[in-house]
């Protein structure tokens, strides 16, 4: 088993693998540390081991923070983790690439998870670790997709769950959460208010708040997107990844995944250029990037991309450093551009994404237009959520031709319907 301890990202102080998330000494965030040295000699064996694993994120269990070690066959695993996530499609998107003047664009479609967003990866890992640590109740502070995933995992595992959301969330996300029988709490306030409340509650209750006291384990789940992309590209690192940024956890952990596989020799050790994507209405990281700052100034969000509406991003400084270090950037786009991004992806790939995916697609378009992307680069666009959850974003963007049920009405009422 490779996982060894928790470590402060700032002062490197070490902690045991418990429900801890902040350093006592410097208040820095804690992260899971591993010792992969025993794998180094035999890359071929490690690849076989991964390829022989289950068709979900647990094929990467050697790189995940579970005390139980690598899992057995997928049947036994299902009862252990409830809702297996991952192994989502990586699709080559030639028509999208052509429209943007690029040569090679791939779409990682993480809407194809059990509750239709990448959050199933992080929740699977956090909840599995929570069970190992003996917790009986799971909880979260959510911008929407985390709510869906925590409620569903609670239902799958028969654990009690509490889900805290801003009360003004999209109705589709509220309905797709409550249906699982969770205790759903709508807080009058922004996500940052919800998060503050949950941080207080996590100190008082013996609950596993997946993105607060279990955050070091939760964050590890995002590495599995990088592992899958590399495996799906034939054990290669793409040249560039375009990734949405809310707290910055997904963005930084994708790079961490490529780096870890570089360290054990599964990949060549390069990092892709990392491009972060935010909405203009909540762009603390993009603004700091543009201004050349190392830290983010908190903002009050106002955007249709509610799943990215974190005004005070925990991993902001690390996201800035990563974007600069890899020759990437963090950019933001307007609500209009977000809607256009959703349409662009839908009509060129057949993938309908939520507003966060509109942000990511629009930032890719912006980078292409600006000439930041070499036409020969292999680019991966990380699509993190499903369009059916944010239907308001596409309302009024197209026309329905309503007609009487006759051929004449069809030919009179629908453009292009008359054949010559
Ligand atoms: C949560 C979320 C993200 C990014 O979250 P981070 O906090 O930056 O890890 C991106 N897209 C969607 C759809 C999300 O729900
Ligand atoms: Zn510290």
Residue 33: what are its φ and ψ, rounded to 5°?
A: -115, 150
**Cα 63 to the center of its chain, rounded Å:** 18
pTM for the predicted model, two decimal places: 0.95
pLDDT number for residue 375: 86
Which ligand has the shortest distance to the CA of 121? 1
Residue 310's nearest CA partner among 213, 193, 200 is 193
Alpha-carbon distance 208 to 202, whole Å? 8
Residues within 6 Å of ligand 1 by CB: 117, 119, 145, 244-251, 307-308, 354, 356, 384-385
Phi-psi bin for 288: left (phi > 0), alpha (psi -120 to 50), beta?
alpha
Which stretches of the chain score pLDDT less than 70? 1, 38-41, 68-81, 420
Q: Atom 11 (ligand 1): residue with closest C-alpha?
A: 384
Alpha-carbon distance 114 to 120, whole Å? 7
Ligand 1 test: best mutation among 122, 140, 141, 145, most atoms within 8 Å of CB?
A: 145
User: Domain spans of the chain?
Assistant: 1-34, 35-84+117-218, 90-116+222-394
Ligand 1 test: best mutation among 29, 248, 301, 308, most atoms within 8 Å of CB?
A: 308
Judge residue 133's burial from the number of C-beta atoms within 10 Å of its C-beta, 0-12 exposed, 13-18 middle, 19 or more buried: middle
Cα 403 to ligand 1 centre (Å): 41
Alpha-carbon distance 330 to 322, whole Å? 10
DSSP assignment, residue 36? -
pLDDT number for residue 72: 47
Is the domain defined by 35-84+117-218 classed in CATH 3.30.930.10? no
Ligand 1 test: best mutation among 126, 147, 246, 249, most atoms within 8 Å of CB?
A: 246
Check: CB of residue 346 under 8 Å from CB of residue 96: no
DSSP assignment, residue 7? E
Which ligand has the shortest distance to the CA of 306? 1
Check: CB of residue 342 under 8 Å from CB of residue 358: yes
Alpha-carbon distance 373 to 406, whole Å? 50
- The helix/strand/coil state of 332 is strand
Locate the DSSP E strands across 125-272: 137-141, 160-166, 183-187, 208-209, 240-244
Cα 212 to ligand 2 centre (Å): 17
Residue 189's nearest CA partner among 198, 201, 180 is 198
Cα 251 to ligand 1 centre (Å): 9
Cα Rg, the chain, nearest whole Å: 21
Cα 69 to ligand 1 centre (Å): 27
Q: Atom 4 (ligand 1): residue with closest C-alpha?
A: 246
**H-assigned helices in 222-305:** 223-232, 249-263, 284-291
| CA-219 nearest atom, ligand 1 | 9
DSSP assignment, residue 333? E
Cα 318 to ligand 2 centre (Å): 15
Alpha-carbon distance 19 to 21, whole Å? 7
Ligand 1 test: best mutation among 120, 226, 244, 386, most atoms within 8 Å of CB?
A: 244
The answer to whether domain 35-84+117-218 and domain 90-116+222-394 are alike in fold is yes
pLDDT number for residue 419: 75
Residue 296's contacts (CB-CB under 8 Å, 6 or more residues apart) are: 284, 285, 287, 288, 312, 313, 316, 317, 320
Domain range 90-116+222-394, CATH class? alpha beta
Full DSSP string of 359-391:
HHHHHHHHHHHHT-S-TT-EEEEEE-BBGGGGG
């Amino acid at each position: 088993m490779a996982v060894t301890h928790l470590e402060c990202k700032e002062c490197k102080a070490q902690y045991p693998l418990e429900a801890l998330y902040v350093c006592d000494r410097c208040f820095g965030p804690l992260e899971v540390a591993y010792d992969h040295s025993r794998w180094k000699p035999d890359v071929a064996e490690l690849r076989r081991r991964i390829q022989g694993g289950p068709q979900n994120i647990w094929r990467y269990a050697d790189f995940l923070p579970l005390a139980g070690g690598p899992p057995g066959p997928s049947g036994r695993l299902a009862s252990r983790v409830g809702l297996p996530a991952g192994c989502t499609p990586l699709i080559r998107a030639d028509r999208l690439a052509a429209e943007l003047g690029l040569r090679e664009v791939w779409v990682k479609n993480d809407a194809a998870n059990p509750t239709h967003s990448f959050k199933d990866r992080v929740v699977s890992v956090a909840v599995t670790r929570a069970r190992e640590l003996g917790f009986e109740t799971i909880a979260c502070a959510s911008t929407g997709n985390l709510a869906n995933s925590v409620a569903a995992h609670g239902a799958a595992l028969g654990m009690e769950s509490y889900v805290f959301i801003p009360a003004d969330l999209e109705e589709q996300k509220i309905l797709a959460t409550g249906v699982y029988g969770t205790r759903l709490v709508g807080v009058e306030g922004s996500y940052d208010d919800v998060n503050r409340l949950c941080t207080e509650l996590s100190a008082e209750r013996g609950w596993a708040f997946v993105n607060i006291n279990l955050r070091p384990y939760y964050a590890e789940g995002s590495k599995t997107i990088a592992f899958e992309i590399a495996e799906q590209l034939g054990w290669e690192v793409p040249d560039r990844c375009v990734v949405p940024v809310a707290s910055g956890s997904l963005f930084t952990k994708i790079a961490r995944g490529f780096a870890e596989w570089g360290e054990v020799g599964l990949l060549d050790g390069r990092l892709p250029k990392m491009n972060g994507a935010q909405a203009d209405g909540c762009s603390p990281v993009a603004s700091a990037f543009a201004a050349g700052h190392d830290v983010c100034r908190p903002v009050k969000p106002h955007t249709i991309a509610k799943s990215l509406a974190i005004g005070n991003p925990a991993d902001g400084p690390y996201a800035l450093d990563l974007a600069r270090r890899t020759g990437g950037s963090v950019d933001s786009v307007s609500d209009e551009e977000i809607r256009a991004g959703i349409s662009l992806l839908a009509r060129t790939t057949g993938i309908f994404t939520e507003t966060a995916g509109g942000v990511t697609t629009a930032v890719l378009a912006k980078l292409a237009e600006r000439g930041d992307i070499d036409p020969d680069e292999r680019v991966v666009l990380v699509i993190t959520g499903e369009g059916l959850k944010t239907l308001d974003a596409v309302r009024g963007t197209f026309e329905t031709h309503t007609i009487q049920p006759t051929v004449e009405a069809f030919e009179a009422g629908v453009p292009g319907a008359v054949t010559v």
